[in-house]
Structure 1
Amino acid sequence: MGLAAGAAGAAAGYALNHRRAEPAAETLLGAEAFARTNAGAWAKVFDALRTGVCVVDGYNEIAYANNGAGALGFKAGQSLHPDSLRGLADHVRATTAPRQVELELGDADAPTAVRIDIAPLPEDHVAVELTDITELHRVERVRRDFVANVGHELKTPVGALQLLSEALADAVDDPAAAARFTTRIQHESTRMARLVTELLELSRLQGAEPLPAPTTVWIDRVITEAIDRSRTAAGAKDISLVRTGRRGLAVSGSENQLATALGNLVGNAIAYSPEATTVTVDTALDGDTVRISIADEGIGIAAEDQRRIFERFYRADPARSRATGGTGLGLAIVKHIAGNHGGQVDVSSMPGKGATFTLALPSVAAQADRTAPHTGEIDAKVTED
């Protein structure tokens, strides 16, 4: 049991010794006067703690519980629960040695993970400290899943490179086969390099590095850069890139990050669209929110997949995603960039009828051009004016 838990136990014991007189004292003195007594002061201190603190008597009845304990379901006048915790309290009384355990309490569908420290007090009482560690468990679970997913994603191109290099060594006398294997090696190495780059980008966005100081970012410039990045891919599939909506909008943040987010969204729209279709980038001002929408005429996304597509490595269509060179990290990066800018990203789609991703960001209320909305089509094969 740590120093904080030991101190909490000692202080809880002090509070217990005074609690027996609290009802009469509070009745006689009034709430305000009672709050100025030692017992009232200790009660205020414990109720201010985020950690739950209980004092349990020799019959495993809760004699005192602060607000933090009450939030976890431990209230004064009730029996200590569950049975395993009562047994642990009895063991602490018998051995006078502090113990620690982690339990899941509450609803089986959404349990609360709690670290429980128990320390002995005089007169067969024990102090119980309750710390909600549900978020720590969630983060640990995400970390394990992330490591497993990274290992799986890297295993595929690494294994392919090994096999292709062996095949290339055996094809030294066959120029056509050697050229074919070389092309495949370049494809797999590019895919692995992209995966590593996006992993590093995601790690940086999640707090591995401090965020850059925010500046005023003009959305027109960001959209132009995102379209330029995707011009070659769009031209290869005869896809037209159309820019519509309000001009002169601005937000506060990082221009590089926002260009990455929009580049990912436009790139995805092109990758999952058939040839000779249109990808539209629209901007609008909705109150104090700038909305940037990227709409395609592609395969669409099923409703059950829309809830998960922003998760790392989740693919609605794994086979198609691998064929397009996707890593499963692009939309996760977009989500984190939106969050870093105080905004969010949403999707609206129906299978077979395309998808629309909307990036919503707080506006800085700085519009350079308040004229009527402008619409213009940008041929992917022609330089933008």
Structure 2
Amino acid sequence: MDGIIPGVTAVVAGIFGVVVGVIATVAFRFSERAHHRSPEAPPAELDEGLVRVLAVLRSAAVVLDGEDDVVRASPPAYALGVVRNDALQHPAIVDLVRQVRRDGVIREKELELPRGPIGSGTVLLQVRVAPVGPDKLLVLAEDRTEARRVEAIRRDFVVNVSHELKTPVGALALLAETVQDAADDPVAVRRFTQRMQAEAQRLSALVHEIIELSRLQVAGALQEVSTIPVRDVVSEAVDRARTTAQAKNITITVGGTADVLVYGDHNLLVTAVRNLLDNAVAYSAENTRVGVGVRERAGLVEIDVVDQGVGIAADEQERVFERFYRVDPARSRDTGGTGLGLSIVKHVAADHGGDVQMWSEPGKGSTFTLRIPSADVPQEMPSDAPPAQHLTPPDRNPQDQTQHDHGTTDEEVGA
């Protein structure tokens, strides 16, 4: 009996030790998980090598933490619209992230996504999601829009160009033959020579705009994206349109808020605003006014070009952005129009994640509005934009009765 009791005691002690060990192990595991999930735990710093790699990548790069919040994003990620307001913007990319988070397998997919919150512009991204470290994910997005557009442009470029070039080329050939036949008539030679010069200038303008439009369509995605002050864009466009406006004694009035920024290409934006101004001047009568207004509303920068011209009929408004379409072909010949200006504006807007809208009524003029998403500048990215400047907006057409209260300074360009 005395030998049995010590044996039972030893068994009980062993069982008690095992139970205590199990409880201690479970408590340790629970404590470790609670420590990792605690909001008070400081976030792990990114590896210095990874930070340097992200700084030099041309692709959009985003690092997510364990809660799929954005830890760091490269400037192209903001410019392409992958990240806005410090969060992944597109549900398709979020879905890829969740799949990788679930099983840790690297995934890659080609996605066609909206370029901005408005407009029909899209961007084709090759997206790759991979884990980096215990709880972080890396999202890489490379812009492949250019490759997709090249084939489409090749299909219709030759047809469009040959159709439009044959008119001025045929006119030059006919005029040259007429000059040859009228060699003994100085007055006729002078008259036909002037016609030849006009046709040559029209041909040169047409070739230039065809090249510009083709470059936009083929390039698609912007090659050199930076933070652009809209003030500089409007000032340069107005300065380029000054000569044509002064020839018709047309005053260009600039107004609105100028201290706004967008992501994009400065030269392309100037070209778009200049084309809108050239159209407004060309289709306005002498001694009238063209207004340019800038404002920011709901995350969009809106540049309005308002004229008091002939206006556009409702049944033709849907086609004005088509390549080579002219509302009045005879007037286009008189003004040197090629029918490509508004098409270029449309492509520039789409490539910047925006769109172009219009209001027009015959006899009352037109308003064209170029809308571009405002720059979502990260806090750590200082802006090199000049100090804010406020201008009074120009008179607007009846379709927009929005009140402006941006300032009291006016700026006019014209005779």
Q: State whether TM-score is above 0.5.
A: yes
In the other structure, the counterpart of 1:344 is 355
Query: 1:156 deviation in Å?
Result: 0.9
Which one-letter code corresponds to 2:374 in the other structure? S
Q: Distance in 2 between matches of 1:169 and 1:376?
A: 55
* Residue 367 of structure 2, aligned match among 339, 352, 356: 356
Give, in whole Å, the separation in 2 of the partners of 1:180 and 1:378: 38
Q: Kindly indicate whether residue 299 of structure 2 is the aligned counterpart of residue 288 of structure 1.
A: yes
1:12-71 CA deviation, whole Å, 9 max, x = no partner?
A: xxxxxxxxxxxxxxxxxxxxxxxxxxxxxxxxxxxxx99xxxxxxxxxxxxxxxxxxxxx
Match of 1:207 in 2: 218
Find the counterpart in structure 2 of residue 254 from structure 1: 265
Q: Tell me, yes or no, if the aligned pair for 2:241 and 2:274 is still in contact at 8 Å.
A: yes
Which deviates the most, 279-288 or 370-379?
Answer: 370-379
* 8 A contact 2:238–2:413 mirrored in 1: no
Give the root-mean-square deviation of aligned CA atoms. 2.5
Provide the rounded CA distance (Å) in 2 between the counterparts of 1:258 and 1:154: 27
Uncovered stretches (5+) of structure 1, i.e. residues with no partner: 1-48, 51-138
**Deviations, residues 119-145 of structure 1 (Å, cap 9, x unaligned):** xxxxxxxxxxxxxxxxxxxx9998766
Distance 2:304 2:221 in 1: 28
Residue 136 (structure 2) aligns with:
none
- Label 1:223 to 1:329 Cα distance change in 2 as closer, same or farther (>3 A): same
| 342 and 260 in structure 1: CA distance in 2 versus 1, 3 angstrom threshold | same
- Shift, 1:318, TM fit: 1.7
In the TM superposition, 1:211-290 aligns within 5 A as 211-290=222-301
| SS of aligned partner of 1:259 | helix
> Do structure 1's residue 176 and structure 2's residue 187 form an aligned pair?
yes
Q: How many residues get paired?
A: 246
Give distance in 2, aligned partners of 1:370 and 1:379: 17
Q: 1:140 to 1:248 in 2, by over 3 A?
A: closer
- Residues 247, 141 of structure 1: alpha-carbon distance in 2 compared, 3 angstrom cutoff: closer
Percent of paired sites with the same residue: 52
Question: Which has the larger Rg?
Answer: 2
Corresponding residue of 2:141: none
Which residue, out of 366, 369, 374, partners 2:388?
Answer: 369
Shift of 1:347: 0.5
Query: How far, CA to CA, are the matches of 1:293 and 1:209 in structure 2?
Result: 24
Q: 1:197 aligns with which of 200, 208, 211?
A: 208
Residues 374/305 of structure 1: CA separation in 2 closer, same or farther (3 Å cut): farther
> Which residue, out of 156, 169, 183, partners 1:158?
169
Task: Point out which structure has higher relative CO (alpha carbons under 8 A, 6+ apart).
Answer: 2
Residue type of the alignment partner of 2:388? D
Q: Does the C-alpha gap of structure 1 residues 208 and 254 become closer, same or farther in structure 2, counting only changes over 3 Å?
A: closer
Runs (5+) with no aligned partner, structure 2: 1-108, 111-149, 377-382, 391-405
Q: CA 1:242–1:316 in 2, change beyond 3 Å: closer, same or farther?
A: same
3-state SS, counterpart of residue 319 of structure 2: coil
Whether the 8 Å CA contact 2:275–2:345 is kept in 1: the answer is: yes
- Where 1:349 maps in the other structure, the secondary structure is strand
TM-score by length of 2: 0.55
